[in-house]
């Protein structure tokens, strides 16, 4: 088929999205681990025969999908098309070639039609365990973090690499889940390949390259046109992470020049001695995502949307670490990148960007033994609050920029002896503003097995909160407590059988002056339990009275009233 009408192109584009979504649904329904099945820490996509990403599934983490988009080229260098046969499936978890940590497994499947490769399907998933130290930031080299697999064949002409599977099973704490997810990734790629071949036959496509070129070229042109609307200039910002042994500075310079954007992280901290380092591939993934998200989110996500965005970081820095740096908790730094880029571009794009949020997803790996003595390991994903927007409150317990989901309490309690005493929105965690920051969540749990257990808590924003914009206040800082006492994050900590763990996640920053928030909206926040009566008065200058009885367990909206006279006086006093 030569050339595509607008109607035909739209039909083909939506069919491609459908194929990728079918690939993802298959993966979610066949995955063994809660990390994939519940948190959806994954990415799925289709690539042309040259390794260019054409389309991705509707959901997926930027750190996976964008890193996978560049990582496929490493696969093709290791295994050129002429070295592959129908039924071959490739695998790697090399951090410097794909998603930045060895827990992330990328599986690539070539699609053959009449003896030639016409496309590739790929998926990246976070494995629940990959051996070595339990997932944490404590390692000093990548060698300590687990089994590192170079690009190799998982299947050869449909026959599984039994020796590789044997090696993986012998090195991980969760062999059924880790290996099961690899089979799920392979199966989902095969489903995508089958549907793509059906599409090609239905529309008479001998090759995917003409369609890929059209889609990619249009995406690139659309993003460049959107970039052109931003005033040319050099924009700078910085933010801070708690780091491991010392705080980490993330410095960015964004240069807008006509139809291109250059993002440079020179001035950021040097790489750490611990496992919070970021490979350049992951840095590029979240930086390019930030530009697409803020400049033109409706542009299809493919190779074309990467081309106008140029990302650099000094070799040896925290955002472009040298091998063999430890990288297991690279998300604790990488998830800050969209926020600092937004802060830099805020003067050039007034009213279009969001305040700082909780940013890094909190991942707690909990392990121990059941009462019967069998081991358990749970990867507990939790989400803080997102920053407020210029016209809307921030989203509560939302994984921005990661896009992952939390693990339901019922799943954790059914798969382990852990019990959650409470899991709720964290009152007053959202930064005050005309538009309030999103709330984090607060959880408390203990182990019912009566045996000692351990936690690796990968958390940040305990020292440095998400900042507000345009007069908005910062969100609450996070807390990691054991038996009511604060403990260091990012380390593996032994716990007594009776220990109680509290994880209180940070909130998002507010947008605009808190005194500009209508008093009625503050009252509504108090009624819903988002803001306490004390914080309403302290932060917003709004006086709310509770008129119900103190012993009520359920407090209804009519039990709260707005003291308009006191509010007017208090806000007037603050404006003087």
The reply to whether 390 and 503 lie within a common domain is yes
pLDDT at 115: 95
Question: H or E segment at 464?
Answer: none
Domain, as residue range, for 563: 528-574
Measured distance CA(175)–CA(178) in Å, rounded: 5
Region 348-362: mean pLDDT is 94
CA of residue 470 relative to chain centroid, distance? 26
Domain membership flag for residue 75: yes
pLDDT at 2: 55
Helix boundaries (H) for 79-174: 162-171
pLDDT at 245: 87
Give the pLDDT band of residue 576 (cuts 50, 70, 90).
low
Report long-range pairs for 346-349 (Cβ below 8 Å, ≥24 apart). Answer: 346/237, 346/469, 347/235, 348/230, 348/231, 348/233, 348/235, 348/256, 349/230, 349/294
The reply to whether 21 and 71 lie within a common domain is yes
Last residue of a domain, one of 163, 187, 220: 220
The reply to whether 63 and 98 lie within a common domain is yes
The reply to whether 96 and 51 lie within a common domain is yes
Measured distance CA(106)–CA(179) in Å, rounded: 13
Domain membership flag for residue 399: yes
The reply to whether 147 and 113 lie within a common domain is yes
Measured distance CA(62)–CA(42) in Å, rounded: 9
Domain membership flag for residue 239: no
CB 473 within 8 Å of CB 509: yes
Last residue of a domain, one of 192, 220, 248: 220
Contacts of 98 (CB under 8 A, 6+ apart): 67, 68, 71, 74, 92, 104, 106, 124, 281
Domain membership flag for residue 17: yes
- In the chain, the percentage of residues whose pLDDT exceeds 90 is 92
Q: Which of 214, 206, 198, 221 is nearest to 6 (CA)?
A: 214
pLDDT at 1: 46
The reply to whether 209 and 99 lie within a common domain is yes
Domain membership flag for residue 284: no
Bridge partner list, 317: 270, 320
The reply to whether 461 and 566 lie within a common domain is no
pLDDT of 339 > 70? The answer is yes
Q: What is the pLDDT of residues 144-168, one digit of tens each?
A: 999 999 999 999 999 999 999 999 9
Half-sphere exposure (CA, 13 Å, Cβ side) for 98?
31
Give the pLDDT band of residue 489 (cuts 50, 70, 90).
very high
The reply to whether 206 and 140 lie within a common domain is yes
pLDDT at 413: 95
The reply to whether 450 and 547 lie within a common domain is no
Give the pLDDT band of residue 221 (cuts 50, 70, 90).
very high
SS3 of residue 194 by DSSP: helix
CB 87 within 8 Å of CB 73: no
> What total of structural domains would you count in the chain?
3
Domain membership flag for residue 232: no
Q: What is the pLDDT of residues 504-535, one digit of tens each?
A: 999 999 999 999 999 999 999 999 999 999 99
Region 480-491: mean pLDDT is 95
pLDDT of 301 > 90? The answer is no
Bridge partner list, 369: 375
Give the pLDDT band of residue 406 (cuts 50, 70, 90).
confident
Region 351-373: mean pLDDT is 95
Q: Which string of b and e fits 245-270 if b means at least 16 CB within 10 Å?
A: eeebebbbbbebeeeebebbbeebbe
The reply to whether 447 and 538 lie within a common domain is no
SS3 of residue 343 by DSSP: helix
Query: What is the pTM assigned to this prediction?
Result: 0.95
Omega prior to 324 cis, within 30 of 0: yes
Last residue of a domain, one of 220, 242, 261: 220
pLDDT at 574: 80
pLDDT of 97 > 70? The answer is yes
CB 393 within 8 Å of CB 425: no
- Cα–Cα distances (Å) from 463 to 176, 244, 273, 474, 535, in that order, read 38, 11, 20, 12, 21
The reply to whether 510 and 547 lie within a common domain is no
Measured distance CA(106)–CA(285) in Å, rounded: 15
Measured distance CA(412)–CA(437) in Å, rounded: 28
Domain membership flag for residue 270: no
Domain membership flag for residue 202: yes
Q: What is the pLDDT of residues 14-67, one digit of tens each?
A: 999 999 999 999 999 999 999 999 999 999 999 999 999 999 988 888 989 999
Give the pLDDT band of residue 99 (cuts 50, 70, 90).
very high
The reply to whether 29 and 177 lie within a common domain is yes
């Amino acid at each position: 088929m030569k050339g595509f009408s607008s109607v035909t192109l739209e039909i083909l584009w939506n069919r491609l999205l459908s194929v990728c979504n079918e690939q993802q649904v298959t993966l979610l329904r066949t995955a063994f681990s809660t990390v994939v099945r519940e948190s959806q820490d994954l990415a799925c996509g289709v690539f042309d025969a040259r390794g260019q990403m054409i389309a991705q599934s509707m959901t997926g983490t930027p750190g996976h999908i964008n890193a996978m988009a560049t990582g496929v080229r490493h696969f093709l260098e290791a295994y050129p098309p002429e070295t592959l046969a129908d039924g071959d499936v490739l695998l790697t978890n090399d951090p410097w070639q794909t998603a930045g940590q060895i827990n992330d497994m990328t599986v690539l499947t070539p699609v053959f039609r009449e003896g030639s490769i016409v496309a590739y399907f790929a998926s990246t998933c976070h494995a629940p365990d990959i051996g070595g130290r339990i997932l944490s930031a404590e390692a000093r080299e990548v060698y300590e973090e687990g089994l590192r697999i170079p690009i190799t064949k998982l299947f050869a002409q449909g026959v599984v690499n039994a020796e590789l599977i044997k090696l993986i099973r012998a090195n991980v704490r969760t062999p059924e889940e880790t290996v099961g997810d690899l089979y799920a990734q392979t199966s989902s790629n095969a489903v995508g390949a089958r549907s793509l071949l059906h599409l090609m036959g239905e529309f008479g496509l001998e090759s995917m390259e003409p369609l890929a070129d059209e889609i990619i070229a249009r995406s690139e042109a659309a993003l460049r046109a959107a970039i052109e609307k931003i005033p040319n200039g050099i924009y700078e910002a910085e933010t801070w992470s708690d780091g491991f042994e010392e705080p980490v500075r993330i410095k960015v310079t964004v240069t807008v020049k006509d139809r291109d954007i250059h993002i440079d992280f020179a001035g950021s901290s040097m790489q750490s001695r611990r496992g919070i380092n970021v490979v350049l591939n992951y840095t590029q993934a979240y930086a390019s995502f930030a530009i697409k998200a803020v400049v033109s989110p409706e542009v299809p996500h493919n190779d074309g949307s990467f081309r106008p965005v140029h990302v650099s970081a000094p070799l040896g820095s925290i955002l472009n670490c040298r091998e063999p740096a430890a990288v297991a908790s690279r998300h604790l730094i990488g998830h800050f990148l969209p926020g600092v880029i937004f802060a830099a571009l805020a003067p050039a794009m007034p009213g279009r960007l969001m305040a700082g949020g909780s940013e890094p997803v909190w991942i707690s790996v909990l392990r121990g033994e059941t009462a019967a003595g069998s081991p358990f390991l749970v990867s507990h994903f939790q989400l803080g609050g997102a920053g407020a927007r210029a016209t809307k409150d921030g989203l509560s317990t939302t994984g921005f920029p990661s896009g992952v989901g939390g693990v339901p309490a019922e799943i954790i309690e059914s798969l382990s002896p852990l019990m959650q005493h409470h899991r709720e929105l964290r009152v007053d965690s959202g930064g005050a503003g005309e538009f309030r920051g999103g709330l984090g969540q607060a959880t408390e749990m203990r182990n019912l097995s009566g045996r000692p257990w351990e936690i690796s808590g990968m958390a940040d924003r305990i020292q440095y909160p998400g900042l507000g914009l345009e007069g908005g206040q910062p969100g609450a800082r996070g807390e990691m407590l054991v038996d009511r006492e604060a403990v260091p994050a990012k380390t593996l900590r032994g716990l007594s059988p009776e220990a109680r763990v509290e994880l209180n996640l940070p909130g998002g920053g507010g947008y605009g002056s808190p005194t500009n928030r209508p008093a009625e909206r503050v009252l509504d926040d108090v009624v819903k339990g988002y803001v306490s009566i004390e914080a309403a008065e302290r932060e917003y200058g709004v006086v709310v009275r509770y008129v119900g009885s103190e012993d009520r367990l359920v407090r209804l909206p009519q039990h709260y009233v707005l003291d308009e006279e006191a509010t007017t006086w208090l806000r007037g006093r603050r404006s003087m």
